[in-house]
Amino acid sequence: MTSDSNNNDTEPTPPWLASIPLEPSHQTLAVLIVHPGRAVVPPEGLAEVLRFWADGRGGWIGAARAAHGLWGYIDGEGRWRVPPTLHNARSFSEDGLARFCDGGRWGFIDLTGAVVIPPAFDHAQPFRHGLSAVQVGQDAWRIINRTGRTTCDEVFHELGAFGANGLARATLWKKSRNERTHGFVDGTGRWVIEPHFRDARPFGESATTAASLDGDLYGLIDAKGHWVLQPRYPRIDAFNAEGLAFFDEPNAWDNGHGYLNERGKVVVKGGRHLSPRMACGVAANSYDGTSFLMADGTPLPTPPLSYGTDFSTESCYAVARTAAARSGATAPAHWGLLHPEGRFVPAPEHLLEPLTDGDGWMVAHPPDTPLVPFLTRDGQLAFIDGEGAITWRAHYDGQQVALLDAAGTPLWRSGVRENCWPPGPFFNAPLTDHLENLETLDGIVPLALDLLADAEARLHRLAAGDELAPDGPVDGEDGDGDDGDDGDSDEDQEPGQVQADRTVVVRRVMRAYLSESHNGSYEFLCTDLNRAVDEARMAMVQQLTERLGAADPNPEHTAPWHRRGEYTQAWPVALAKPLPGDSGALHEAREQWLTLY
């Protein structure tokens, strides 16, 4: 959205961008350019828009990818300044030029969309301070100015972007030894800092940068190549917008990480999970975002949290979830937005959870758009600002989706398509999302009867002298649990025992495990998933008990030893047909066990 204030001291803001899922899988999106009271999109549709830049004529321009996959440059009204026929397009730099790729060659346009340097290069770095590095052949980079002319005859193996101090990292390749060393050159190609470093970071906007003589330990150097901080850390990243550089302590798992200032002083000291992504002067200091450190090294005062994202540079807040109260209190956990001073703003009660992508991760903010999308409890989508106020709503009816403003005024409507619904909840997924071999919990009895019939048929085939083939892995196994010992590990067993084991039929009916990365980041979700498993188990036991009678919690025949648990329940079920040779003397000889574990 744009601001048209009459106050000359107020800079106009670029249009906001709305990214609207068009189907539950989150694979197809509609990207809209949104102004107060209206939203625009070109006929080709948009799949992505990079950051808008003021064009110097009261408008905006930004690189954009059309729905058909090619790139161009679009203005704030959805009109193409450069048609979407390019293979790639990048954002503008502060120099007012942007790189684009056409036919495999890179060139530059200005803020009007005019080509100022024709596409003639294999690759190109962004313009910085009037200079750019361009690739003119294999392992051959040169320096050009804004007119596209080379500034010198020097050719470099690699060349990075120029920093505020006028230096670019350059690489020297000693082909005979296949050795690459790094130094820094100025705009004339002169080596200001000789190439004797095994590794070095670009200067960027900082007065110092990280460098290493051996590739193992890093220190900080100034624009003359003098050590500001002698090499001592295994890792030092580039300096961020706060003028701080993330670093690893030796043995970081035990000793942690931190942030250095340009003089090499440690100003933030964190633990093993300190995030390297500091934004708005705040960095997470835990793997699940339950604690944060500020740029001065002090803890961010927050309410107790069970989860938090990194802070966003677009909005200057993080999506967070409070911790549920303990010790008998009843306050539930709440999703909301965490501000850089530690203030937590809960999302409105009718919002269910933040929108996630198809893999269960939080969706990223579009450029210059300080809104967070949330799923609503009635299955729709809402976008909230930093104070929790709803700015937009996306309303779905199964065939179309409409974007509405806060007053309910339609801003845009999609075309008609099948299955036009928002993605489903990830953190509050229904039980049925975790079922396997079942559509609903009501299917447990029919499945159990099918398994009993299958097992009995195997018994009769074995009694008739048939050789049973292995059943294969349990449905849905993927090797990341301890579910994999049922299959074909028969080498150490007697043949008769192998055949007896193959009369057992196993089917997984529920799986709540997500992944190691999900379980680490969303530790709070493990409790919720365990609760869901318990609820499903109780419902299954109830239905099986109504059909088969009371369960035996300590059966004579139960699950394999590596599958037993405190929740094992089993039901003895009479065979439909006695096995050959059954005298009837033993009641157990006419039973098989159905076990839920």
| Higher per-residue pLDDT: 418 or 432 | 418
> What value does the mean pLDDT take over residues 413-432?
94
Helix or strand or coil: residue 362? strand
CB 404 within 8 A of CB 381: no
Alpha carbons 75 and 100: distance in angstroms, whole number = 16
- What average pLDDT does range 181-208 have in this prediction? 97
The pLDDT score that the predictor gives to residue 122 is 98
How far apart (Å, rounded) are the C-alpha atoms in residues 30 and 415?
A: 11
User: Region 465-483: what's the mean pLDDT?
Assistant: 64
99-113, 168-182, 348-362, 576-590: which range is least confident on average? 576-590
Per the listing, tokens 């447990």 go with 444
Q: What mean pLDDT do residues 130-152 have?
A: 97
Please give the mean pLDDT across all residues of the chain.
91
pTM, rounded to two decimals: 0.87
- H-run or E-run covering 253: helix 252-255
Give the per-residue pLDDT at 447. Answer: 96
- pLDDT beyond 80 at 415: yes
pLDDT digits (tens, 9 = 90+) for 290-310: 999 999 999 999 999 999 999
Q: What is the pLDDT of residue 327?
A: 47
Please tell me the distance from the alpha carbon of residue 20 to that of residue 403, in angstroms, as a whole number: 8
> What is the rounded CA–CA span in Å between residue 419 and residue 401?
11
Can you tell me the distance from the alpha carbon of 442 to that of 536, in angstroms, rounded to the nearest whole number? 11
The fraction of the chain above a pLDDT of 90, given in percent, is 77
pLDDT digits (tens, 9 = 90+) for 14-58: 999 999 999 999 999 999 999 999 999 999 999 999 999 999 999
What pLDDT sits at residue 513? Answer: 82
**Structure-model confidence comparison of residues 595 and 100, the more confident one:** 100
Considering only residues 431 and 41, tell me which one the structure prediction assigns the higher pLDDT.
41
